């Protein structure tokens, strides 16, 4: 995990998840991708609620994506939508 846990704990129990993480997590993915020279896989996570969100993480440098909150709210159809967009 790449984050400052002190900042997250100020928010309260449970921290932050879902859409509030989208922009910052994409920035961190892009930064890691630029600095790592592809020396390790990056798992894109945070604020993925649509196929376009998943593609944004991949375009930023993620090798894989992880769904949680988006999967809860959007359901299993989200996976199909992501796969369909990635196959285009």
Name all domains of the chain by residue range, CATH numbers in brackets. 18-87 (3.40.50.12600)
pLDDT digits (tens, 9 = 90+) for 12-65: 555 566 677 889 999 999 999 999 998 999 999 999 999 999 999 999 999 999
Determine if the pTM surpasses 0.85: no
* pLDDT band, very low/low/confident/very high, at 4 (cuts 50, 70, 90): very low
User: For 51, what's the count of Cα atoms within 13 Å in the CB-facing half-sphere?
Assistant: 13
Q: Helices (DSSP H) in the chain: which residue ranges?
A: 5-11, 22-36, 51-60, 69-74, 77-87
Q: How many CB atoms lie within 10 A of CB 22?
A: 17
């Amino acid at each position: 995990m790449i984050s400052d846990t002190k900042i997250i704990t100020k928010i309260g129990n449970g921290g932050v998840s879902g859409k509030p993480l989208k922009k910052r997590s994409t920035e961190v993915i892009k930064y890691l991708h630029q600095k790592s020279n592809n020396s390790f896989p990056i798992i894109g996570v945070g604020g993925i609620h649509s196929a376009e969100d998943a593609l944004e993480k991949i375009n930023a440098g993620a090798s894989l994506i992880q769904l949680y909150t988006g999967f809860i709210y959007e359901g299993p159809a989200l996976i199909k939508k992501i796969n369909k967009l990635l196959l285009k």
